[in-house]
Amino acid sequence: MQTENPNPIPPTGFLGKNPSLRLREFRLFLSLRFGIIFTLNMQSTILYFWVYDLTHDKLSLGFVGLAEVIPAIVCSFFSGHVVDLNEKRKMVLACLAGYIVLATGFALLAMDAARESMPFDYILHLIYLLVFLGGMLRSFYSPSMFALFGLVVPRKHYPNATSWSSMAWQLGAVGGPLAAGFCIALLGIAQSLALVGAIQLMLLLPLLAIKAKPIVKKAKEPVLRSVTEGLRFVYKTPVLLSALALDMFAVLFGGAVALLPVYQKEILHVSEMGFGVLRAAPGVGAIATMGLLAFLPIRNRPGQKLFYCIGGFAISIIIFGLSTNFYLSFFMLLLSGMFDAVSVVIRSTILQLVTPDDMRGRVSAVNTMFVSSSNELGDFESGVMASWLGTVRAVVTGGCITLGVVVYTFFRAPQLRNFTFDDHDKQPVSKGDEPV
């Protein structure tokens, strides 16, 4: 239960402006969030490089995304129901254990002994199978972490805590690909994948240091009814539905990450290190922006700023698609990350503020279906479009479609356009950790 600090820090200085960092369990949460995203992005980067190195086929990159998105969407229909009925730390622990097992499987599959004893097609299909299992895990991991966030942070600190949570995510998204580039060049694929599992094993320490949390939703009900309530809540909350739909289409059509191996080898002609730098560029821009938001938080007209930033993201992707210069390509990816960072903070804060505590798992599962899974579905779309139109045309077309969706939604969703944080941060429904 959140208690008053008898000697509160006045609202000045770094901690005064970032009160969420005074919460011990939130700091543990940040380290856990960073570590898991770091390892998953590192693993994903290695897998895309590995698959393209094995096949030299653009469509095979799309199948990696498809293999993850199918179970992530299907399992999300009931994962939120499961998360809402179970203790959140235990759910995260189960997901982390599953990721450790998968990392071990990838490392064993990449060893020389596996390549010498199994046919090429068999190895490729096993990669897709393990990615498929990872998609199943993610459908439970995302709502579990989202629900745990609401139990370690008081509601009044959601905007500030969301900025730091997003920064931890972006740091992992940057560090993972950079580490993957270095590790591929220095250690090789098998050892790099083994390192992913070792790091995930160490993440058990901060997770187990977080206390078990009360289960807010204790009344059991039929799965179908429970899932339907989550979908109905999102559908009947126009600002949330519009934000999720807008971000889903932006990620679905505006992503270019899956095609970076093609840009590296066929358009920009850079080394594996260059590939890692390009892959990390959006995250670098996002981290710089998150750091700025820690001191200059978003307060005014967040809804309008969401539209402006996703529009800027689309324009950056269009220019990246046309670029044949490594430095211009890097800068456009950097800029896309900066725009995306602001939109992520706004959307995540909206999601936290409008979602009741007893529905966090189900609403987050819907968010996974709308947004998180669109990353991998976007990877598949990019692979198909690149095979059909060519790499450059596919990226530019996707950026133009995203820009069109932004313009259309701007005029069709006035609730999101006029949204403000002040109207939704008064409801005291969550519990936090005791500040130290």
SS3 10: coil
Average pLDDT over residues 64-79: 76
Q: Is the pLDDT of residue 90 over 50?
A: yes
The two three-digit tokens of residue 238, written as one number: 């126009």
CA angle 30, 287, 329 (to 5 degrees): 140
301: left (phi over 0), alpha (psi -120 to 50) or beta: left
User: What pLDDT is stored for residue 429 in this prediction?
Assistant: 41
Q: Is the pLDDT of residue 97 over 80?
A: yes
Average pLDDT over residues 49-77: 77
Name the pTM for this structure.
Answer: 0.68
More confident call, 432 vs 297: 297
Q: How many CB atoms lie within 10 A of CB 205?
A: 12
Q: Is the pLDDT of residue 220 over 60?
A: no
Q: How confident is the model at residue 126 (pLDDT cuts 50, 70, 90)?
A: very high
Residue with tokens 């903070």: 345
Cβ atoms of 329 and 392 closer than 8 Å: no
Distance CA 69, CA 47 (A): 15
Give percent of the chain above pLDDT 70.
82
CA angle 255, 409, 80 (to 5 degrees): 65
Which of 237-251, 305-319, 370-384 is predicted most confidently?
Answer: 305-319
Across 68-77, 86-95, 114-123, least confident range: 68-77
Q: What are phi and psi of 84, to 5 degrees?
A: -65, -25
User: What pLDDT is stored for residue 337 in this prediction?
Assistant: 86
Q: Is the pLDDT of residue 434 over 50?
A: no
Distance CA 399, CA 250 (A): 8
Distance CA 42, CA 168 (A): 15
Q: How confident is the model at residue 13 (pLDDT cuts 50, 70, 90)?
A: low
